[in-house]
Amino acid sequence: GKIILGDQILERSDVNIDLEDRGYQFGDGVYEVIRVYGGELFTIKEHIERLFQSAKKIKLDVSMSSEQIRGLTEELVKENGVDFGSVYMQVTRGAAPRAHMFPKPESSTKAVFTAYTNEVPRPASLLEKGVEAITTEDIRWLRCDIKSLNLLPNVLAKQEAADSDCFEAILHRNGIVTEGSSSNAYIVKNGEVITHPANNLILNGITRQVLAELCKENGIPFIEKEFELIDLQNADEVFITSTVSEVMPVIKVNGETVANGKPGNITCKLQGLFEARIN
């Protein structure tokens, strides 16, 4: 299929990324994953806005406009004929002789923007049955609000989950649950949806923001406050959200069933509301 490199749509095989691209060597860049439902990019505006926010937080000049990125991305999805799938996009600080400090402004180094598409069906059976999770220590840095290319702690946590045949690793700092390795995490207790505040310790997911809206519109309390591993164990319901996983019930944590081991009522209600939003 086709891809985007800078302001051009090209064949994937025509791309050359420099060995000294700072994304490759330092993880010096930011990214987004956007869902495609029936050929339409879901919440593309919010994702591109967050890409620019992440870039700004690492003092990276994207050197393209959001309108340009949006236009190119829509064209790419059309050209590749993506029906249900996703777009991965990233921007790095570009290629320069390897040195930790930023390339000098007068050097010819320019940000490198790339994007490509994937065909991915919605995870229908997992959404219905729910998934299992483990918990593990959150060993990431203190700027998890930035959607940075540096994902080694996330990769290690997800692999730990995979090694236990689990779908996700739910992270905690000193017993306080932050989020999943690639998702936001929630408990439901006494009819309230509870999730970690959107500060520097989590990524404020676009799906999380849609969920907050859905809760508000439907009179479901959406409470942003810290909760602990013990609350996860004692929750009425547990679920995670992400662009790829949508609203995903968690029915077992560390091998222990959550409540009766079935996706909870509020989780299912939120799934229905989310489904209505994407259609």
Does position 206 interact with ligand PDD (CB under 6 A)? The reply is yes
Cα–Cα distance list, 206 to 24, 50, 61, 126, 198 (Å): 26, 9, 22, 21, 11
Does position 278 interact with ligand PDD (CB under 6 A)? The reply is no
Q: Which of 55, 112, 187, 203 binds ligand PDD (CB under 6 A)?
A: 203
Min dist. Cβ of residue 86 to ligand PDD (A):
8
Nearest-angstrom CA–CA distance, 96 and 115: 21
User: Which secondary structure element, helix H or strand E, spans residue 153, and what is its range?
Assistant: helix 152-163
Q: Which two tokens stand for residue 75?
A: 């064209």
Q: Which of 148, 182, 195, 267 binds ligand PDD (CB under 6 A)?
A: 182
Q: Single out the segment in contact with ligand PDD by CB under 6 A; choices: 115-123, 220-228, 242-250, 256-264.
A: 242-250
Min dist. Cβ of residue 199 to ligand PDD (A):
13
**Is the Cα torsion angle 75, 19, 149, 99 positive or negative in sign?**
negative
Does position 54 interact with ligand PDD (CB under 6 A)? The reply is no
Gyration radius from the chain CA atoms: 19
Does position 183 interact with ligand PDD (CB under 6 A)? The reply is yes
Among candidate residues 2, 57, 147, 189, the one labeled active-site is 147
Q: Which is nearer to ligand PDD, 80 or 181 (CB)?
A: 181
Nearest-angstrom CA–CA distance, 173 and 273: 31
Give the three-state DSSP class for 104: coil
Q: Which of 179, 227, 247, 273 binds ligand PDD (CB under 6 A)?
A: 179
Shortest-Cβ-distance residue relative to ligand PDD: 205
Give the three-state DSSP class for 60: coil
The residues pairing with 1 across neighbouring beta strands, listed in sequence order, are: none
Question: Residue 147 catalytic?
Answer: yes
For 231, phi then psi, to 5°, come to: -70, -30
Q: Which of 54, 148, 207, 267 binds ligand PDD (CB under 6 A)?
A: 207
Give the three-state DSSP class for 263: coil
Residues in Cβ contact with 216 at an 8 Å cutoff, skipping those fewer than 6 apart: 222
Min dist. Cβ of residue 154 to ligand PDD (A):
6
Min dist. Cβ of residue 23 to ligand PDD (A):
15
Q: Which of 92, 114, 135, 242 binds ligand PDD (CB under 6 A)?
A: 242
Nearest-angstrom CA–CA distance, 192 and 231: 13
Does position 33 interact with ligand PDD (CB under 6 A)? The reply is yes
Does position 205 interact with ligand PDD (CB under 6 A)? The reply is yes
Min dist. Cβ of residue 232 to ligand PDD (A):
16
Residue 167: CB atoms within 10 Å: 21
Q: Tell me which residues in 120-159 interact with ligand PDD (CB under 6 A).
A: 154
The set of catalytic residues is 147
| Contacts to ligand PDD by CB under 6 A | 33, 154, 179, 182-184, 203, 205-208, 241-244
